Copies of this chain bind each other. A is one copy, B any other.
Amino acid sequence: MDLRRLRYFVAVAEARSIGKAAERLRMAQPPLSVQIRKLEAEIGAPLFRRGTRGMDLTEAGQALLARASEALALAVDGAEAARAVASGRRGRLSVGYMFVLANAVLPRLIPELRRSVPGVDLEFAELSATTREARVLDRGVTVALCMPAINHPEIQVARIGAQPFMLVMPTSSPLARLGPVPMARLHGRPLIALPHPDHGPASSAVVPLLRRHQVVMPIASRVETVHSAMSLVLAGEGLAILPACAQLGAPRGIVFRPLRDVTDSLDIAVCWRRDSQSPLIKTFLKCAEKAVARL
Chain A residues close to B by CB (< 8 Å): 1-4, 6, 42-47, 49, 58-64, 66-68, 70-72, 74-79, 81-87, 90-92, 275, 277-278
Copies in the assembly, this chain: 2
In the complex, how many angstroms separate the beta carbon of A250 from the nearest chain B beta carbon? 38
Q: How far is the CA of A87 from the CA of B43 in the complex (A)?
A: 11
**CB-defined contacts of A45 to chain B, threshold 8 Å:** 82-83, 85-87
Q: How far is the CA of A215 from the CA of B231 in the complex (A)?
A: 117
Decide: A63 near B44, CB < 8 A? Known: A6-B3, A68-B78, A71-B71: no
Q: Are B92 and A79 neighbours in the complex by a CB distance under 8 Å?
A: no
State the majority secondary structure of interface residues on A.
Answer: helix
Q: Are B64 and A1 neighbours in the complex by a CB distance under 8 Å?
A: no
Other than the given A3-B4, A43-B86, A45-B82, 15 more pairs (CB < 8 A) read A3-B75, A43-B79, A45-B85, A49-B275, A60-B85, A60-B91, A61-B82, A62-B85, A63-B82, A63-B84, A64-B79, A64-B81, A64-B82, A67-B81, A68-B78
Q: Are B277 and A1 neighbours in the complex by a CB distance under 8 Å?
A: no
Q: Are A75 and B1 neighbours in the complex by a CB distance under 8 Å?
A: yes
Q: How far is the CA of A87 from the CA of B46 in the complex (A)?
A: 11
29 pairs across A/B with beta carbons < 8 Å?
A: A1-B76, A2-B3, A2-B4, A3-B6, A6-B78, A42-B79, A43-B83, A45-B86, A46-B86, A46-B277, A47-B82, A59-B91, A59-B278, A60-B85, A60-B86, A63-B78, A63-B81, A63-B84, A63-B85, A63-B91, A64-B79, A64-B81, A66-B78, A67-B74, A67-B75, A67-B77, A71-B72, A71-B75, A71-B78
